Structure 1
Amino acid sequence: MTRASVTIEISKLVPGESPRTGGRDEEHIARLAGLDATLPPILVDRRTLRVIDGMHRLLAAVAKGQRTVEVQFFEGSAEDAFLKAVEANVTHGLPLSLADRRAAAVRIVASHPHLSDRAIARSTGLGAKAVATVRRQSTEASAQVGARVGRDGKLRPLNSAEGRRRAAELLAERPASSLREIARRAGISPATVSDVRRRLTKGESPLPTTNDSSAGEVPPPRERTNVRQMRPTPSDPTAVLAKLVRDPSLRQKEDGRQLLRLLQQNAIGTEEWSELTAVVPAHCGSLVVDLARQCAETWLEFAQELNTRASNAGRVAVAG
Protein backbone atom coordinates (compact mmCIF):
# COMPACT_ATOMS: atom_id res chain seq x y z
CA MET A 1 0.00 0.00 0.00
CA THR A 2 1.36 3.47 -0.92
CA ARG A 3 2.26 5.59 2.08
CA ALA A 4 0.86 9.11 2.31
CA SER A 5 3.42 11.87 1.86
CA VAL A 6 3.67 15.05 3.90
CA THR A 7 5.39 18.38 3.35
CA ILE A 8 8.23 19.22 5.74
CA GLU A 9 10.80 21.99 6.02
CA ILE A 10 14.15 21.01 4.60
CA SER A 11 15.95 22.64 7.54
CA LYS A 12 14.45 20.03 9.89
CA LEU A 13 15.89 17.05 8.00
CA VAL A 14 19.16 15.39 8.97
CA PRO A 15 21.47 13.68 6.43
CA GLY A 16 21.28 9.94 6.94
CA GLU A 17 23.75 7.12 6.47
CA SER A 18 23.95 6.19 2.81
CA PRO A 19 24.88 2.79 1.39
CA ARG A 20 26.97 4.68 -1.18
CA THR A 21 30.58 4.41 -0.07
CA GLY A 22 31.67 7.00 -2.64
CA GLY A 23 29.51 9.78 -1.23
CA ARG A 24 27.19 12.03 -3.21
CA ASP A 25 27.24 12.38 -7.00
CA GLU A 26 27.31 16.10 -7.95
CA GLU A 27 26.43 15.42 -11.60
CA HIS A 28 23.36 13.42 -10.59
CA ILE A 29 22.26 16.21 -8.24
CA ALA A 30 22.59 18.74 -11.08
CA ARG A 31 20.52 16.52 -13.41
CA LEU A 32 17.76 16.21 -10.82
CA ALA A 33 17.81 19.96 -10.15
CA GLY A 34 17.32 20.62 -13.85
CA LEU A 35 14.17 18.52 -14.12
CA ASP A 36 10.77 20.22 -14.27
CA ALA A 37 8.94 17.06 -13.17
CA THR A 38 8.01 16.53 -9.53
CA LEU A 39 10.42 14.11 -7.90
CA PRO A 40 9.25 11.20 -5.71
CA PRO A 41 8.98 11.85 -1.94
CA ILE A 42 12.05 11.34 0.22
CA LEU A 43 11.99 8.52 2.77
CA VAL A 44 12.67 9.78 6.29
CA ASP A 45 12.97 8.14 9.72
CA ARG A 46 10.01 9.45 11.71
CA ARG A 47 11.87 9.45 15.06
CA THR A 48 15.13 11.09 14.04
CA LEU A 49 14.11 12.87 10.79
CA ARG A 50 17.20 11.33 9.18
CA VAL A 51 17.02 10.79 5.45
CA ILE A 52 16.89 7.07 4.61
CA ASP A 53 16.49 7.36 0.85
CA GLY A 54 16.54 10.41 -1.41
CA MET A 55 19.59 12.43 -0.33
CA HIS A 56 20.33 13.38 -3.95
CA ARG A 57 16.72 14.54 -4.38
CA LEU A 58 17.00 16.57 -1.18
CA LEU A 59 20.21 18.28 -2.33
CA ALA A 60 18.59 18.94 -5.71
CA ALA A 61 15.70 20.65 -3.93
CA VAL A 62 18.19 22.78 -1.99
CA ALA A 63 19.94 23.70 -5.23
CA LYS A 64 16.60 24.84 -6.69
CA GLY A 65 16.02 27.09 -3.67
CA GLN A 66 13.16 25.05 -2.19
CA ARG A 67 12.38 25.47 1.52
CA THR A 68 10.14 22.39 1.80
CA VAL A 69 10.09 18.89 0.36
CA GLU A 70 7.65 15.98 0.20
CA VAL A 71 8.57 13.06 2.48
CA GLN A 72 7.25 9.68 3.51
CA PHE A 73 7.94 8.49 7.04
CA PHE A 74 9.55 5.19 7.97
CA GLU A 75 9.13 3.58 11.37
CA GLY A 76 11.63 0.96 12.50
CA SER A 77 15.10 0.32 13.88
CA ALA A 78 18.29 1.83 12.50
CA GLU A 79 19.20 -1.59 11.09
CA ASP A 80 15.85 -1.87 9.31
CA ALA A 81 16.24 1.68 8.02
CA PHE A 82 19.59 0.80 6.43
CA LEU A 83 18.05 -2.31 4.86
CA LYS A 84 15.25 -0.15 3.46
CA ALA A 85 17.78 2.34 2.08
CA VAL A 86 19.64 -0.42 0.26
CA GLU A 87 16.43 -1.86 -1.19
CA ALA A 88 15.33 1.57 -2.39
CA ASN A 89 18.65 2.37 -4.05
CA VAL A 90 18.76 -1.01 -5.76
CA THR A 91 15.31 -0.67 -7.32
CA HIS A 92 15.32 2.94 -8.52
CA GLY A 93 17.36 6.10 -8.94
CA LEU A 94 21.15 6.13 -9.23
CA PRO A 95 22.26 2.47 -9.10
CA LEU A 96 24.58 1.28 -6.34
CA SER A 97 27.98 0.05 -7.46
CA LEU A 98 28.93 -3.60 -7.04
CA ALA A 99 31.26 -2.60 -4.20
CA ASP A 100 28.41 -0.71 -2.49
CA ARG A 101 26.09 -3.71 -2.78
CA ARG A 102 28.70 -6.11 -1.43
CA ALA A 103 29.43 -3.80 1.50
CA ALA A 104 25.71 -3.54 2.19
CA ALA A 105 25.37 -7.34 2.12
CA VAL A 106 28.14 -7.68 4.73
CA ARG A 107 26.32 -5.29 7.02
CA ILE A 108 22.88 -6.83 6.48
CA VAL A 109 24.18 -10.36 7.10
CA ALA A 110 25.46 -9.12 10.46
CA SER A 111 22.35 -7.10 11.40
CA HIS A 112 19.75 -9.51 9.97
CA PRO A 113 21.29 -13.01 10.25
CA HIS A 114 17.82 -14.59 10.25
CA LEU A 115 17.23 -13.52 6.64
CA SER A 116 17.98 -16.15 4.00
CA ASP A 117 20.66 -15.71 1.35
CA ARG A 118 17.97 -15.26 -1.32
CA ALA A 119 16.14 -12.61 0.73
CA ILE A 120 19.34 -10.60 1.22
CA ALA A 121 20.26 -11.10 -2.43
CA ARG A 122 16.95 -9.61 -3.48
CA SER A 123 17.45 -6.61 -1.17
CA THR A 124 21.02 -5.91 -2.30
CA GLY A 125 20.80 -6.78 -5.98
CA LEU A 126 23.40 -9.53 -5.65
CA GLY A 127 23.17 -13.22 -6.44
CA ALA A 128 22.30 -15.69 -3.70
CA LYS A 129 25.70 -17.40 -4.13
CA ALA A 130 27.47 -14.09 -3.60
CA VAL A 131 25.52 -13.52 -0.38
CA ALA A 132 26.31 -17.07 0.76
CA THR A 133 30.00 -16.29 0.27
CA VAL A 134 29.64 -13.08 2.27
CA ARG A 135 27.91 -15.00 5.06
CA ARG A 136 30.68 -17.62 5.21
CA GLN A 137 33.34 -14.94 5.38
CA SER A 138 31.50 -12.86 7.97
CA THR A 139 32.69 -13.20 11.54
CA GLU A 140 29.73 -11.31 12.98
CA ALA A 141 27.05 -13.69 11.69
CA SER A 142 28.53 -16.92 13.02
CA ALA A 143 25.85 -19.28 14.29
CA GLN A 144 23.59 -16.56 15.69
CA VAL A 145 20.29 -18.18 14.80
CA GLY A 146 18.94 -21.64 14.05
CA ALA A 147 16.55 -20.54 11.31
CA ARG A 148 16.20 -18.01 8.52
CA VAL A 149 13.31 -16.14 6.95
CA GLY A 150 13.06 -16.64 3.19
CA ARG A 151 11.77 -14.32 0.45
CA ASP A 152 8.32 -15.78 0.99
CA GLY A 153 8.36 -14.80 4.67
CA LYS A 154 8.45 -18.38 5.91
CA LEU A 155 10.78 -19.45 8.73
CA ARG A 156 12.98 -22.43 7.87
CA PRO A 157 15.50 -24.13 10.20
CA LEU A 158 19.14 -24.22 9.15
CA ASN A 159 19.39 -27.65 10.76
CA SER A 160 16.46 -29.97 10.08
CA ALA A 161 17.38 -31.95 13.20
CA GLU A 162 16.46 -28.95 15.36
CA GLY A 163 13.14 -28.67 13.55
CA ARG A 164 12.42 -32.36 14.12
CA ARG A 165 13.25 -32.11 17.83
CA ARG A 166 11.00 -29.08 18.16
CA ALA A 167 8.21 -30.93 16.31
CA ALA A 168 8.55 -33.87 18.72
CA GLU A 169 8.17 -31.52 21.68
CA LEU A 170 5.12 -29.85 20.14
CA LEU A 171 3.49 -33.18 19.31
CA ALA A 172 3.81 -34.17 22.96
CA GLU A 173 2.50 -30.82 24.18
CA ARG A 174 -0.26 -30.44 21.54
CA PRO A 175 -1.38 -33.92 20.45
CA ALA A 176 -4.62 -32.54 18.96
CA SER A 177 -2.87 -29.98 16.74
CA SER A 178 -2.82 -30.49 12.98
CA LEU A 179 0.32 -31.33 11.05
CA ARG A 180 0.29 -27.88 9.46
CA GLU A 181 0.12 -26.11 12.84
CA ILE A 182 3.03 -28.14 14.23
CA ALA A 183 4.97 -27.56 11.00
CA ARG A 184 4.44 -23.80 11.22
CA ARG A 185 5.66 -23.66 14.82
CA ALA A 186 8.64 -25.96 14.23
CA GLY A 187 9.66 -24.37 10.93
CA ILE A 188 9.54 -27.60 8.92
CA SER A 189 7.17 -29.11 6.35
CA PRO A 190 3.95 -30.96 7.28
CA ALA A 191 5.37 -34.07 5.59
CA THR A 192 8.37 -33.99 7.94
CA VAL A 193 6.07 -33.58 10.95
CA SER A 194 4.15 -36.63 9.76
CA ASP A 195 7.40 -38.60 9.64
CA VAL A 196 8.31 -37.42 13.16
CA ARG A 197 4.90 -38.50 14.49
CA ARG A 198 5.26 -41.90 12.81
CA ARG A 199 8.66 -42.40 14.42
CA LEU A 200 7.42 -41.38 17.86
CA THR A 201 4.44 -43.75 17.55
CA LYS A 202 6.88 -46.60 16.89
CA GLY A 203 9.01 -45.56 19.87
CA GLU A 204 11.86 -44.35 17.66
CA SER A 205 13.90 -41.16 17.71
CA PRO A 206 12.42 -38.26 15.72
CA LEU A 207 15.76 -38.02 13.90
CA PRO A 208 16.45 -40.37 10.96
CA THR A 209 19.56 -42.49 10.97
CA THR A 210 22.40 -41.95 8.48
CA ASN A 211 21.20 -44.75 6.20
CA ASP A 212 17.53 -43.92 6.56
CA SER A 213 15.95 -43.12 3.19
CA SER A 214 13.46 -40.79 4.91
CA ALA A 215 16.13 -38.42 6.18
CA GLY A 216 15.00 -35.65 3.82
CA GLU A 217 12.13 -33.24 4.08
CA VAL A 218 9.69 -35.61 2.33
CA PRO A 219 7.44 -38.38 3.62
CA PRO A 220 9.14 -41.78 3.98
CA PRO A 221 8.49 -44.36 1.22
CA ARG A 222 6.27 -46.41 3.51
CA GLU A 223 3.85 -43.54 4.04
CA ARG A 224 3.75 -42.65 0.36
CA THR A 225 2.96 -46.28 -0.42
CA ASN A 226 0.05 -46.17 2.00
CA VAL A 227 -1.30 -43.07 0.32
CA ARG A 228 -1.09 -44.76 -3.07
CA GLN A 229 -2.95 -47.77 -1.68
CA MET A 230 -5.82 -45.43 -0.77
CA ARG A 231 -6.36 -44.51 -4.42
CA PRO A 232 -9.45 -46.21 -5.85
CA THR A 233 -9.40 -48.20 -9.08
CA PRO A 234 -9.74 -47.06 -11.79
CA SER A 235 -7.28 -44.15 -11.35
CA ASP A 236 -9.05 -41.91 -13.89
CA PRO A 237 -10.03 -38.83 -11.80
CA THR A 238 -13.29 -38.40 -13.71
CA ALA A 239 -14.42 -41.97 -13.04
CA VAL A 240 -13.39 -41.83 -9.38
CA LEU A 241 -15.19 -38.53 -8.88
CA ALA A 242 -18.35 -39.86 -10.54
CA LYS A 243 -18.33 -42.79 -8.13
CA LEU A 244 -17.95 -40.48 -5.13
CA VAL A 245 -20.73 -38.18 -6.32
CA ARG A 246 -23.15 -41.14 -6.42
CA ASP A 247 -22.35 -42.02 -2.80
CA PRO A 248 -25.33 -40.81 -0.68
CA SER A 249 -23.20 -40.60 2.48
CA LEU A 250 -21.30 -37.74 0.83
CA ARG A 251 -23.85 -35.91 -1.32
CA GLN A 252 -26.58 -35.84 1.36
CA LYS A 253 -24.41 -33.90 3.85
CA GLU A 254 -23.28 -30.31 3.54
CA ASP A 255 -19.69 -31.17 4.54
CA GLY A 256 -19.73 -34.05 2.06
CA ARG A 257 -20.96 -31.78 -0.72
CA GLN A 258 -18.22 -29.27 0.12
CA LEU A 259 -15.63 -32.01 -0.16
CA LEU A 260 -17.04 -33.08 -3.52
CA ARG A 261 -16.88 -29.49 -4.78
CA LEU A 262 -13.22 -29.26 -3.77
CA LEU A 263 -12.45 -32.57 -5.45
CA GLN A 264 -14.26 -31.46 -8.63
CA GLN A 265 -12.10 -28.33 -8.76
CA ASN A 266 -8.88 -30.33 -8.44
CA ALA A 267 -9.66 -33.52 -10.37
CA ILE A 268 -8.39 -32.42 -13.77
CA GLY A 269 -6.10 -34.26 -16.14
CA THR A 270 -2.45 -33.63 -17.00
CA GLU A 271 -3.29 -31.94 -20.31
CA GLU A 272 -5.58 -29.46 -18.55
CA TRP A 273 -2.87 -28.61 -16.02
CA SER A 274 -0.49 -27.97 -18.92
CA GLU A 275 -2.98 -25.56 -20.45
CA LEU A 276 -3.31 -23.72 -17.12
CA THR A 277 0.47 -23.30 -16.77
CA ALA A 278 0.49 -21.46 -20.10
CA VAL A 279 -2.02 -18.93 -18.70
CA VAL A 280 0.23 -17.80 -15.82
CA PRO A 281 2.18 -14.63 -16.74
CA ALA A 282 5.90 -14.64 -15.98
CA HIS A 283 5.66 -11.95 -13.28
CA CYS A 284 3.11 -14.07 -11.36
CA GLY A 285 4.98 -17.37 -11.73
CA SER A 286 6.70 -17.43 -8.31
CA LEU A 287 3.48 -16.47 -6.52
CA VAL A 288 1.49 -19.22 -8.23
CA VAL A 289 4.27 -21.74 -7.54
CA ASP A 290 4.23 -20.92 -3.81
CA LEU A 291 0.44 -21.11 -3.64
CA ALA A 292 0.33 -24.38 -5.60
CA ARG A 293 2.88 -25.93 -3.26
CA GLN A 294 0.88 -24.82 -0.22
CA CYS A 295 -2.26 -26.37 -1.71
CA ALA A 296 -0.35 -29.58 -2.45
CA GLU A 297 0.89 -29.73 1.15
CA THR A 298 -2.65 -29.21 2.42
CA TRP A 299 -3.99 -32.07 0.28
CA LEU A 300 -1.07 -34.29 1.33
CA GLU A 301 -1.81 -33.59 4.99
CA PHE A 302 -5.48 -34.37 4.38
CA ALA A 303 -4.57 -37.66 2.67
CA GLN A 304 -2.18 -38.66 5.44
CA GLU A 305 -4.67 -37.92 8.22
CA LEU A 306 -7.39 -39.78 6.33
CA ASN A 307 -5.05 -42.70 5.77
CA THR A 308 -4.14 -42.78 9.46
CA ARG A 309 -7.80 -42.78 10.46
CA ALA A 310 -8.55 -45.59 7.99
CA SER A 311 -5.61 -47.64 9.30
CA ASN A 312 -6.71 -47.17 12.91
CA ALA A 313 -10.27 -48.19 12.03
CA GLY A 314 -8.93 -51.30 10.32
CA ARG A 315 -6.92 -52.29 13.37
CA VAL A 316 -9.95 -51.80 15.63
CA ALA A 317 -12.06 -53.94 13.33
CA VAL A 318 -9.47 -56.73 13.39
CA ALA A 319 -9.13 -56.55 17.17
CA GLY A 320 -12.93 -56.69 17.58
Structure 2
Amino acid sequence: MSKKAQNKKIKVGNMTFDVVNTTILVIVLLIVLYPLYYVLIASFSNPDLVLTGKIFLLPKGFQTESYERVFSNPEIMQGYLNSILYTLVGTCINLAVTLSGGYALSRRDLRGRKGFMIFFTFTMFFGGGTVPTYMLVRKLHLLNTFWAMVIPNAMSVWNLILCRNFFEGNIPSELLEVAQIDGCRNGYFFYRIVLPLSKALIAVMVLFYAVGHWNSYMQPLLYLSDRTKYPLQLVLKNILISSQPDASLAGMNDRAEMYKQTEMLKYALVVVSSAPMIVLYPFVQKYFVQGVMVGSVKG
Protein backbone atom coordinates (compact mmCIF):
# COMPACT_ATOMS: atom_id res chain seq x y z
CA MET A 1 0.00 0.00 0.00
CA SER A 2 1.40 3.38 -1.01
CA LYS A 3 2.07 6.06 1.58
CA LYS A 4 -0.61 8.30 0.05
CA ALA A 5 -3.26 5.58 0.30
CA GLN A 6 -2.18 4.81 3.86
CA ASN A 7 -2.49 8.47 4.87
CA LYS A 8 -5.92 8.63 3.23
CA LYS A 9 -7.04 5.54 5.17
CA ILE A 10 -5.82 7.06 8.43
CA LYS A 11 -7.63 10.31 7.64
CA VAL A 12 -10.90 8.49 6.92
CA GLY A 13 -10.53 6.52 10.15
CA ASN A 14 -9.96 9.70 12.15
CA MET A 15 -13.00 11.35 10.57
CA THR A 16 -15.16 8.31 11.33
CA PHE A 17 -13.99 8.30 14.92
CA ASP A 18 -14.74 12.03 15.28
CA VAL A 19 -18.25 11.61 13.83
CA VAL A 20 -19.09 8.64 16.07
CA ASN A 21 -17.57 10.29 19.14
CA THR A 22 -19.41 13.57 18.52
CA THR A 23 -22.71 11.75 17.97
CA ILE A 24 -22.38 9.82 21.22
CA LEU A 25 -21.49 12.98 23.15
CA VAL A 26 -24.44 14.88 21.69
CA ILE A 27 -26.81 12.05 22.66
CA VAL A 28 -25.40 11.98 26.20
CA LEU A 29 -25.70 15.78 26.39
CA LEU A 30 -29.36 15.63 25.36
CA ILE A 31 -30.07 12.87 27.88
CA VAL A 32 -28.55 14.99 30.65
CA LEU A 33 -29.99 18.37 29.65
CA TYR A 34 -33.51 17.47 28.58
CA PRO A 35 -34.81 16.59 32.09
CA LEU A 36 -33.59 19.98 33.32
CA TYR A 37 -35.18 21.70 30.34
CA TYR A 38 -38.42 19.79 30.84
CA VAL A 39 -38.64 20.88 34.48
CA LEU A 40 -38.16 24.49 33.39
CA ILE A 41 -40.85 24.49 30.68
CA ALA A 42 -43.23 22.46 32.87
CA SER A 43 -42.97 25.08 35.61
CA PHE A 44 -44.37 27.68 33.18
CA SER A 45 -47.02 25.39 31.63
CA ASN A 46 -50.62 24.62 32.48
CA PRO A 47 -50.56 21.78 35.06
CA ASP A 48 -53.41 19.97 33.24
CA LEU A 49 -51.27 19.77 30.09
CA VAL A 50 -48.25 18.64 32.12
CA LEU A 51 -50.21 15.85 33.80
CA THR A 52 -51.60 14.62 30.48
CA GLY A 53 -48.11 14.47 28.92
CA LYS A 54 -48.67 17.17 26.30
CA ILE A 55 -45.51 19.13 27.14
CA PHE A 56 -42.47 18.16 25.12
CA LEU A 57 -40.37 20.96 23.65
CA LEU A 58 -42.15 24.23 24.44
CA PRO A 59 -44.32 25.40 27.35
CA LYS A 60 -48.07 25.34 26.72
CA GLY A 61 -50.73 27.31 28.53
CA PHE A 62 -48.07 29.74 29.77
CA GLN A 63 -48.56 30.75 33.41
CA THR A 64 -46.50 32.21 36.24
CA GLU A 65 -48.92 31.42 39.05
CA SER A 66 -46.66 28.70 40.42
CA TYR A 67 -43.77 31.16 40.86
CA GLU A 68 -46.10 33.79 42.30
CA ARG A 69 -47.24 31.30 44.92
CA VAL A 70 -43.66 30.27 45.69
CA PHE A 71 -42.32 33.79 46.16
CA SER A 72 -45.37 35.02 48.05
CA ASN A 73 -44.63 32.47 50.76
CA PRO A 74 -42.61 34.20 53.53
CA GLU A 75 -41.14 30.86 54.68
CA ILE A 76 -39.48 30.37 51.30
CA MET A 77 -37.88 33.82 51.42
CA GLN A 78 -36.65 33.15 54.95
CA GLY A 79 -35.38 29.73 53.86
CA TYR A 80 -33.54 31.35 50.94
CA LEU A 81 -31.85 33.82 53.27
CA ASN A 82 -30.93 31.06 55.72
CA SER A 83 -29.48 28.86 52.99
CA ILE A 84 -27.42 31.75 51.62
CA LEU A 85 -26.00 32.50 55.07
CA TYR A 86 -25.29 28.84 55.81
CA THR A 87 -23.60 28.45 52.43
CA LEU A 88 -21.47 31.60 52.66
CA VAL A 89 -20.33 31.18 56.26
CA GLY A 90 -19.99 27.40 56.02
CA THR A 91 -17.95 27.56 52.82
CA CYS A 92 -15.60 30.15 54.33
CA ILE A 93 -15.03 27.92 57.38
CA ASN A 94 -14.53 24.88 55.11
CA LEU A 95 -11.94 26.72 53.01
CA ALA A 96 -10.05 28.02 56.04
CA VAL A 97 -9.82 24.58 57.65
CA THR A 98 -9.26 22.49 54.52
CA LEU A 99 -6.71 24.70 52.75
CA SER A 100 -4.62 25.35 55.86
CA GLY A 101 -4.78 21.68 56.87
CA GLY A 102 -3.91 20.49 53.37
CA TYR A 103 -0.94 22.85 53.19
CA ALA A 104 0.34 21.76 56.61
CA LEU A 105 0.15 18.09 55.61
CA SER A 106 2.00 18.83 52.38
CA ARG A 107 5.01 20.14 54.30
CA ARG A 108 7.59 17.39 54.65
CA ASP A 109 9.04 19.05 57.75
CA LEU A 110 5.77 18.60 59.69
CA ARG A 111 6.38 16.27 62.62
CA GLY A 112 3.95 13.36 62.81
CA ARG A 113 2.80 13.97 59.25
CA LYS A 114 2.16 10.30 58.51
CA GLY A 115 0.35 9.81 61.81
CA PHE A 116 -2.00 12.70 61.04
CA MET A 117 -2.76 11.26 57.60
CA ILE A 118 -3.52 7.83 59.07
CA PHE A 119 -5.86 9.45 61.60
CA PHE A 120 -7.72 11.46 58.94
CA THR A 121 -7.91 8.51 56.54
CA PHE A 122 -9.29 6.28 59.31
CA THR A 123 -12.31 8.59 59.66
CA MET A 124 -13.18 8.02 55.99
CA PHE A 125 -13.86 4.34 56.69
CA PHE A 126 -15.14 4.40 60.26
CA GLY A 127 -17.49 7.04 61.63
CA GLY A 128 -19.33 7.51 64.90
CA GLY A 129 -22.75 7.41 63.28
CA THR A 130 -25.78 9.64 63.48
CA VAL A 131 -26.71 9.13 67.14
CA PRO A 132 -23.22 9.78 68.62
CA THR A 133 -22.83 12.82 66.37
CA TYR A 134 -26.19 14.15 67.53
CA MET A 135 -25.18 13.60 71.16
CA LEU A 136 -21.92 15.46 70.57
CA VAL A 137 -23.71 18.41 68.98
CA ARG A 138 -26.13 18.50 71.91
CA LYS A 139 -23.29 18.40 74.47
CA LEU A 140 -21.66 21.33 72.68
CA HIS A 141 -24.97 23.27 73.00
CA LEU A 142 -25.20 23.70 69.24
CA LEU A 143 -28.69 22.28 68.79
CA ASN A 144 -31.11 24.68 67.11
CA THR A 145 -28.36 27.25 66.49
CA PHE A 146 -26.77 28.71 63.39
CA TRP A 147 -23.46 26.97 64.16
CA ALA A 148 -25.02 23.51 64.08
CA MET A 149 -25.19 23.94 60.31
CA VAL A 150 -21.56 24.92 59.72
CA ILE A 151 -19.37 23.47 62.50
CA PRO A 152 -20.02 19.65 62.48
CA ASN A 153 -18.96 19.33 58.82
CA ALA A 154 -16.21 21.93 58.83
CA MET A 155 -13.89 19.70 56.80
CA SER A 156 -14.11 16.87 54.29
CA VAL A 157 -11.19 14.44 54.51
CA TRP A 158 -11.45 13.74 50.79
CA ASN A 159 -11.05 17.46 50.04
CA LEU A 160 -8.20 17.65 52.56
CA ILE A 161 -6.31 14.94 50.66
CA LEU A 162 -7.04 16.69 47.38
CA CYS A 163 -5.57 19.93 48.75
CA ARG A 164 -2.52 18.16 50.13
CA ASN A 165 -1.78 16.52 46.79
CA PHE A 166 -2.27 19.81 44.96
CA PHE A 167 0.16 21.66 47.20
CA GLU A 168 2.73 18.86 46.99
CA GLY A 169 2.60 18.80 43.21
CA ASN A 170 2.36 22.53 42.47
CA ILE A 171 4.18 24.44 45.22
CA PRO A 172 7.94 23.73 44.88
CA SER A 173 9.86 23.37 48.11
CA GLU A 174 12.53 25.60 46.57
CA LEU A 175 10.01 28.44 46.54
CA LEU A 176 9.62 28.15 50.31
CA GLU A 177 13.38 28.02 50.81
CA VAL A 178 13.89 31.21 48.79
CA ALA A 179 11.10 32.94 50.72
CA GLN A 180 12.60 31.89 54.05
CA ILE A 181 15.98 33.25 53.02
CA ASP A 182 14.27 36.60 52.44
CA GLY A 183 12.79 36.42 55.96
CA CYS A 184 9.29 35.27 54.97
CA ARG A 185 7.38 33.48 57.73
CA ASN A 186 5.20 30.41 57.18
CA GLY A 187 1.90 32.24 57.61
CA TYR A 188 2.87 35.05 55.24
CA PHE A 189 4.14 32.53 52.69
CA PHE A 190 0.83 30.63 52.82
CA TYR A 191 -1.47 33.65 52.47
CA ARG A 192 0.58 35.75 50.06
CA ILE A 193 2.25 33.13 47.86
CA VAL A 194 0.55 29.71 48.15
CA LEU A 195 -3.08 30.84 47.99
CA PRO A 196 -2.65 33.12 44.91
CA LEU A 197 -1.05 30.16 43.11
CA SER A 198 -3.98 27.89 44.04
CA LYS A 199 -6.93 29.65 42.40
CA ALA A 200 -8.00 26.50 40.54
CA LEU A 201 -8.02 24.46 43.73
CA ILE A 202 -9.90 27.16 45.68
CA ALA A 203 -12.56 27.36 42.96
CA VAL A 204 -13.10 23.60 43.09
CA MET A 205 -13.32 23.65 46.89
CA VAL A 206 -15.84 26.51 46.77
CA LEU A 207 -18.02 24.57 44.35
CA PHE A 208 -17.84 21.30 46.30
CA TYR A 209 -18.57 22.86 49.68
CA ALA A 210 -21.16 25.38 48.47
CA VAL A 211 -23.22 22.70 46.74
CA GLY A 212 -23.04 20.54 49.86
CA HIS A 213 -24.28 23.35 52.11
CA TRP A 214 -26.98 24.44 49.68
CA ASN A 215 -28.38 20.93 49.33
CA SER A 216 -28.04 20.08 53.03
CA TYR A 217 -31.14 18.25 54.24
CA MET A 218 -30.38 15.69 56.96
CA GLN A 219 -28.31 18.06 59.05
CA PRO A 220 -31.04 20.70 59.57
CA LEU A 221 -33.61 17.94 59.95
CA LEU A 222 -31.62 16.55 62.89
CA TYR A 223 -30.32 19.71 64.54
CA LEU A 224 -32.94 22.43 63.93
CA SER A 225 -36.38 22.71 65.48
CA ASP A 226 -37.03 26.44 64.99
CA ARG A 227 -38.80 26.93 61.64
CA THR A 228 -37.28 30.41 61.25
CA LYS A 229 -33.83 28.75 61.03
CA TYR A 230 -34.83 26.17 58.39
CA PRO A 231 -32.79 26.22 55.16
CA LEU A 232 -34.53 26.27 51.81
CA GLN A 233 -34.48 22.50 51.23
CA LEU A 234 -36.33 21.78 54.47
CA VAL A 235 -38.85 24.54 53.81
CA LEU A 236 -39.58 23.13 50.35
CA LYS A 237 -40.06 19.65 51.76
CA ASN A 238 -42.59 20.92 54.28
CA ILE A 239 -44.46 22.84 51.58
CA LEU A 240 -44.71 19.81 49.31
CA ILE A 241 -45.90 17.59 52.16
CA SER A 242 -48.51 20.12 53.26
CA SER A 243 -49.73 20.35 49.64
CA GLN A 244 -50.35 16.60 49.34
CA PRO A 245 -54.07 15.70 49.21
CA ASP A 246 -55.50 13.77 52.16
CA ALA A 247 -57.72 10.96 50.86
CA SER A 248 -59.62 10.69 54.17
CA LEU A 249 -60.60 14.35 54.29
CA ALA A 250 -61.01 15.46 50.68
CA GLY A 251 -63.46 14.45 48.00
CA MET A 252 -62.47 13.24 44.55
CA ASN A 253 -62.66 16.69 42.96
CA ASP A 254 -60.80 18.31 45.83
CA ARG A 255 -58.06 15.69 45.70
CA ALA A 256 -57.68 16.13 41.94
CA GLU A 257 -57.40 19.91 42.30
CA MET A 258 -54.91 19.62 45.15
CA TYR A 259 -52.85 17.13 43.17
CA LYS A 260 -52.81 19.52 40.22
CA GLN A 261 -51.67 22.38 42.45
CA THR A 262 -48.97 20.19 43.96
CA GLU A 263 -47.64 19.33 40.50
CA MET A 264 -47.65 23.00 39.57
CA LEU A 265 -45.66 23.89 42.69
CA LYS A 266 -43.26 20.96 42.39
CA TYR A 267 -41.60 22.07 39.15
CA ALA A 268 -41.36 25.70 40.26
CA LEU A 269 -39.76 24.67 43.54
CA VAL A 270 -37.16 22.56 41.73
CA VAL A 271 -36.19 25.53 39.54
CA VAL A 272 -36.10 27.94 42.49
CA SER A 273 -33.93 25.67 44.63
CA SER A 274 -31.51 24.77 41.81
CA ALA A 275 -31.03 28.22 40.27
CA PRO A 276 -28.28 29.57 42.61
CA MET A 277 -25.95 26.60 42.06
CA ILE A 278 -26.58 26.66 38.31
CA VAL A 279 -25.66 30.35 38.28
CA LEU A 280 -22.53 29.73 40.38
CA TYR A 281 -21.12 26.91 38.25
CA PRO A 282 -20.14 28.94 35.11
CA PHE A 283 -17.93 31.21 37.23
CA VAL A 284 -15.82 28.31 38.52
CA GLN A 285 -16.15 25.91 35.58
CA LYS A 286 -12.93 27.08 33.90
CA TYR A 287 -10.99 26.09 37.03
CA PHE A 288 -12.89 22.90 37.72
CA VAL A 289 -11.16 20.36 35.46
CA GLN A 290 -7.73 21.87 36.05
CA GLY A 291 -8.10 21.82 39.81
CA VAL A 292 -9.43 18.27 39.99
CA MET A 293 -6.89 16.75 37.60
CA VAL A 294 -3.85 18.50 39.04
CA GLY A 295 -4.88 17.93 42.64
CA SER A 296 -5.67 14.28 42.12
CA VAL A 297 -2.18 13.32 40.91
CA LYS A 298 0.76 13.52 43.27
CA GLY A 299 3.66 15.32 41.70
Range class of TM-score, shorter chain: under 0.3
Q: Normalising by structure 1, what TM-score?
A: 0.23
Higher helix share: 2
Q: Normalising by structure 2, what TM-score?
A: 0.24
Higher strand share: 1
Give the structure, 1 or 2, with the largest relative contact order (CA under 8 Å, sep 6 or more). Answer: 2
- Choose 1 or 2 for highest CA Rg: 1
